[in-house]
């Protein structure tokens, strides 16, 4: 099946259909080009100078820079937004509470480093995993939107800047002339995909706000100040608020899956060099699962990238929201934090499924 992403026209349709030799030649060319790309070193002319340092040293520097940036920027903005946030923050009485938050930050950095993400990936993931907390504070605790946006910006900067200085861009984010990269980096396509992501988040949160969520929050959150913003919410207003979420989903899910090094990005939908016939004797566990799910040729590289990143997004959205809401928002019960996190996990799941449809996986 062809991707729902608009094809990059490189030859008129009549030429594509006139000869099977042309398609065969395209197949050989793409496979060769893709093999050459796979053998190319990951560092490029866009790699920062510090990326040449040994990996353990770079990861240590990432951790130091991230914690330093967080401390510095929180201190700078304390007079402007600190008091407003302090009014709704949980009082830290036990040392282990602080230890949990520091350990969670380290787990985030370690996971991002191990996964091989670059700063553009992490900008999107940081928005997606941290915005639920600040949306809660703005909607139900009366925290000013500017204050919440300021702290969210600090969270993004604290993880994106160290990676920008110490890790090169992944293949999908590099400018290139390969068809898949041109599609992934097309601004109109990116904008449309981002609007799709924002609309899905808007519908999921709107549905939650008008069904089970208000009563659930009142039951498990002690200290909610107002439900007025929740009652006034509408899909258009939420969609406007979630434009950053849409941008982030397109940045973290769509661009890497379409523009990955292993995705040939063919313009002819009849050619599938990345898929092979299923052989039960040599098939891996992933290939066997794919075959049993109906993917006769196995998962494509595009599907593998999307599936892995979708799992990370869902886990990060729920886990980070749960930890930060439970340990930083005053009067929060564990069930309350889990319920709030689950709404965003569902939104992430449905967005991932929709992006799979866009890539026709």
In the Cβ-directed half-sphere of 333, how many Cα atoms lie within 13 Å? 11
**Quick one: pLDDT at residue 253?**
94
Give the number of domains in the chain.
1
Cα gap 198→345, rounded to integer Å:
14
| In a domain? residue 27 | no
Cα gap 80→351, rounded to integer Å:
35
What value does the mean pLDDT take over residues 29-38?
44
Binned at pLDDT 50, 70 and 90, residue 211 comes out as very high
Q: Could you tell me if 255 and 190 are in contact, meaning their C-beta atoms sit under 8 angstroms apart?
A: yes
Q: Alpha-carbon torsion 34, 39, 44, 45, what sign?
A: negative
Q: What are phi and psi of 88, to 5 degrees?
A: -115, 5
Residue 268 CA, chain-centre distance (Å), reads: 29
Is residue 235's pLDDT more than 60? yes
| In a domain? residue 31 | no
Q: What are phi and psi of 265, to 5 degrees?
A: 65, 45
| In a domain? residue 242 | yes
| In a domain? residue 295 | no
Is residue 11's pLDDT more than 60? no
**Quick one: pLDDT at residue 319?**
97
DSSP label at residue 186: -
What value does the mean pLDDT take over residues 183-201?
92
| In a domain? residue 224 | yes
| In a domain? residue 40 | no
Binned at pLDDT 50, 70 and 90, residue 323 comes out as very high
Least-confidence region, from 21-35, 63-77, 90-104, 323-337? 21-35
Binned at pLDDT 50, 70 and 90, residue 240 comes out as very high
What value does the mean pLDDT take over residues 276-301?
68
Is residue 361's pLDDT more than 60? no
Cα gap 113→166, rounded to integer Å:
10
Angle, CA 96 vertex, CA 93 and CA 97 arms, to 5°? 60
**Quick one: pLDDT at residue 46?**
60
Max avg pLDDT among 32-36, 201-205, 283-287: 201-205
Residue 175 CA, chain-centre distance (Å), reads: 20
Q: Could you tell me if 205 and 239 are in contact, meaning their C-beta atoms sit under 8 angstroms apart?
A: no
What value does the mean pLDDT take over residues 332-344?
97
**Quick one: pLDDT at residue 251?**
95
| In a domain? residue 95 | yes
Is residue 50's pLDDT more than 90? no
Cα gap 313→310, rounded to integer Å:
5
Per residue in 122-166, pLDDT (tens digit) is 999 999 999 999 999 999 999 999 999 999 999 999 999 999 999
Reported residue count of the chain is 361
Question: CB within 8 A of 75, min separation 6: which ones?
Answer: none
Is residue 42's pLDDT more than 50? no
Q: Tell me which residue has tokens 């919410």.
A: 233
User: How many CB atoms are closer than 10 A to CB 319?
Assistant: 16
Cα gap 239→42, rounded to integer Å:
37
| In a domain? residue 22 | no
Token pair listed for 114: 């191990």
Host domain of residue 182: 49-263+300-358
What value does the mean pLDDT take over residues 319-336?
95
**Quick one: pLDDT at residue 35?**
44
Least-confidence region, from 11-25, 92-106, 151-165, 327-341? 11-25
């Amino acid at each position: 099946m062809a991707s729902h992403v608009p094809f990059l026209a490189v030859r008129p349709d009549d030429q594509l259909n006139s000869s099977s030799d042309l398609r065969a030649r395209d197949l050989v060319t793409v496979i060769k080009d893709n093999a050459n790309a796979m053998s190319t070193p990951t560092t490029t002319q866009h790699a920062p100078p510090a990326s040449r340092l040994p990996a353990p040293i770079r990861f240590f520097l990432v951790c130091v820079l991230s914690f330093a940036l967080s401390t510095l920027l929180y201190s700078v903005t304390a007079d402007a937004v600190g008091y407003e946030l302090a009014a709704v923050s949980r009082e830290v009485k036990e040392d282990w509470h602080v230890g949990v938050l520091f350990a969670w930050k380290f787990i985030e950095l370690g996971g991002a480093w191990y996964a091989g993400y670059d700063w553009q990936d992490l900008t999107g993931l940081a928005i997606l995993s941290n915005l639920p907390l600040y949306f809660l504070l703005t909607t139900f605790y009366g925290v000013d939107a500017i204050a919440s946006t300021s702290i969210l910006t600090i969270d993004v900067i604290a993880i994106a800047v160290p990676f920008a200085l110490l890790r090169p861009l992944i293949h999908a984010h590099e400018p290139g002339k390969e068809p898949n990269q041109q599609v992934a980096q097309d601004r109109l396509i990116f904008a449309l995909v981002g609007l799709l992501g924002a609309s899905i988040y808007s519908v999921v949160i709107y549905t939650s706000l008008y069904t089970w969520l208000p009563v659930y929050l009142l039951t498990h959150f002690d200290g909610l100040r107002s439900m007025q913003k929740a009652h006034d919410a509408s899909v258009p207003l939420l969609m406007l608020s979630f434009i950053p979420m849409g941008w982030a989903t397109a940045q973290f899910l769509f661009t890497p899956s379409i523009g990955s090094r292993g995705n040939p990005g063919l313009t002819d939908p009849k050619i599938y060099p990345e898929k092979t016939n299923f052989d039960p004797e040599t098939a891996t566990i992933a290939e066997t699962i794919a075959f049993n799910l109906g993917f006769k040729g196995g998962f494509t590289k595009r599907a593998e990238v999307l599936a892995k990143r979708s799992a990370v997004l869902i886990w990060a959205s729920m886990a980070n929201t749960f930890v930060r809401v439970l340990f930083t928002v005053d009067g929060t019960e564990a069930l309350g934090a889990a319920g709030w996190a689950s709404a965003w996990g569902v939104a992430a799941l449905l967005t991932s499924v929709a992006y799979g449809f866009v890539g026709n996986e």
